[in-house]
Chain A
Amino acid sequence: MSEKALNFGEAMKRLENIVQQLEQGGKGLEETIQLFEEGAALLKKCQQELSSVEDRVNELSLEEAEQLGDSE
């Protein structure tokens, strides 16, 4: 599945879509389980992402910011 490539916004959009499909029902067992699995994985990923973003406010002068780029 291409889950890894999805950013948070895309993951949420996909998740919303999956839940809607599950709510509509009418799909076969295989497909339903597949959807549910994908949804569960996306939920986990989103929840992890929400709590994993680091707390960091960095203040740099323009020169410092430019030097950071130059020092590579």
Chain B
Amino acid sequence: MALDSTTSSPIPIGDFVQFVKQTIVQDPQFQLQTLKGEISQWKEHNNNIYFALRDEKGQMNCVIWNASIPIDPSIREGSEVIVIANLDLWPKQGRIQLVVKKIMPVLSIGELELAKRELLAQLRQEGALDRPKKPLPVLPKHVMIITGKNSAALADMKRLAVLRYPNIRISVVEVLVQGQQAAQEIARALAVSRAWADKHGAEKLGIVPVDVVIVGRGGGSVEDLWAFNLEQVARSILASPIPVVSAVGHESDILVSDLVADVRASTPSHAVELVVPDRLNLEQWLDELEMRSSLAMSRYLERNRTQLNFLFKRLASAPKAGVVAMHRQLDGLKSRLSASVKSSTNQYRQQLIQMQSTLNAAHPQRTLERGYAMIESKGAVVQSIHDIEEGHTILLRLADGIAHSTVQEKEIGE
């Protein structure tokens, strides 16, 4: 239909209204607009909700068809709200109205504070505030950082993390950290961290499981930081199977996220200091332990050398006391010692080599070389006269050979 002022024939009003409706509906400027105002004349009728959105400069009728969207229970007559709505025209009455797709309360700071206090009371009652905190891993394998995209906080955290531990593995998930969507996005990112912390889940994704999460942002106004006071964020922190560090830059008020997290950091950088170890420190600490353990071991051997020598000598001069079994045990010790030698320091190595030669001296062969013989029967070392029977064949093992012998007579000792 053409609308031209020169057209002579008048247009039926119904057609005109339809035309206006099409124009409005097709114009993206009028669709899915985010609008703010105060609610008046809130009415529910036939499952539809009607109200006017107004402020001091104007107002417009709104409708929520079929009560089709979630409505915060705090919304009532006079509430300040934000709606996302499409402009529409109702042809029968020629009335322009907003079809509301989403409605959210705008809380004043006072109301926000009240909501926060209520949430804290609820969490306290549930025991969520004094639950046992999960300790941070000493050496995290995979750190997740949830924060604002391209933020100064993120830049600081990355720089500091790499400085402290050059080969740390970090996954950054970028979210909105302020505004209406922030809490939801933070909660979604925390859900990702839960999936990635799961061993099987991580395996499927081909990633190292996440073992610690930092969630935060730089400082800002009370309103800017408010997402960190919301239940959605608190609940998803509480649901985390791995430690969560709350890292919001602020000095004054403590946020709900600070109270429910496993660790509270005063700033994002502080969180990195807590989570990412200083590699140099760890290495020094390991070096020190290595030195201390070697030193302790060589002292032990030194202190016990005479006693050990004595033991080995006694052992060597008691050929009847299960020499073979002892031999095996010594062999075992020896090979384990030489394995230890390989993994220890030079100084200590010397001590162990000496130890080995002591062990060698206890080899049954050395005893045989001194003129003793070992008696074997049926493949075992004979330790008792009761193991021998008259007429049976026994082996006399000497240092340089074996004599096959027959027992002529046995005499049992006292």
Q: Complex: how many Å from CA A60 to CA B167?
A: 19
Q: Is the CB of B174 within 8 A of A60?
A: yes
Q: Which of A8, A25, A65, A66 contacts B299 (CB 8 A)?
A: A25
How many of chain A's residues touch chain B, expressed as a range?
35 or more
B171 and chain A: residue at smallest CB distance: A58
Assess whether B296 is in contact with A23, with CB atoms less than 8 Å apart: yes
Smallest Cβ-Cβ distance to B290: which chain A residue:
A43
* B: contact size bracket: 35 or more
Is B333 in the interface zone, CB < 8 Å from A?
yes
| Cα–Cα distance between A32 and B204 once the two chains are bound (Å) | 43
Q: Does A2 touch B at the CB level, under 8 Å? A: no
List which B177-230 residues lie within 8 A (CB) of chain A.
185, 188-189, 192, 195-196, 201, 204-205
Known contacts A16-B289, A22-B293; A59/B139 CB under 8 A: no
Contacts of A69 in B (CB 8 A): 192, 195-196, 201, 205
- B68 smallest CB distance to A (angstroms): 26
Chain A nearest CB, measured from B293 CB (Å) = 5
Q: Are B204 and A56 in contact (CB under 8 A)?
A: no
List of A residues within 8 angstroms of B172 by Cβ: 57-60
Q: How far is the CB of A50 from chain B (nearest CB, A)?
A: 6
User: What chain B residues lie within 8 Å of A44 (beta carbons)?
Assistant: 343
Chain B proximity mask over A19-63: 1 for CB below 8 Å, otherwise 0: 100110100011011001101110110110111011111111110
Interchain nearest-CB distance for A49 vs B (Å): 7
Main secondary structure of the interface of B (DSSP, over half): helix
Instruction: List the count of A-B residue pairs having beta carbons below 8 Å apart.
Output: 126
A22 contact set on B, CB distance < 8 A: 292-293, 296-297, 300
Is the C-beta of B170 less than 8 angstroms from some C-beta in chain A?
A: yes
User: What is the CA–CA distance of A56 and B145 in the complex, to the nearest angstrom?
Assistant: 13
Query: Which of B169, B195, B304 is A53 in contact with, Cβ under 8 Å?
Result: B169
A-B interface, 7 closest residue pairs, ranked by CB to CB distance from nearest: A9-B138, A22-B296, A8-B139, A55-B167, A59-B172, A72-B204, A40-B343
* B residues neighboring A (CB under 8 Å): 135, 137-139, 141, 149, 158, 161-162, 165-175, 185, 188-189, 192, 195-196, 201, 204-205, 279, 282-283, 285-286, 289-290, 292-293, 296-297, 299-300, 303-304, 308, 333, 336-337, 339-340, 343-344
Binding site for B on A (CB under 8 A): 7-9, 12, 15-16, 18-19, 22-23, 25, 29-30, 32-33, 36-37, 39-41, 43-44, 46-47, 49-51, 53-62, 65-66, 68-69, 72
11 further A-B contacts with Cβ under 8 Å, apart from A9-B139, A43-B289, A43-B343, are: A8-B139, A22-B293, A22-B297, A22-B300, A39-B289, A50-B282, A56-B170, A59-B174, A62-B175, A62-B192, A65-B189
Interface pairs (12), CB distance under 8 Å: A8-B137, A8-B138, A23-B292, A29-B308, A53-B141, A55-B168, A55-B169, A56-B169, A57-B172, A60-B171, A61-B174, A66-B188
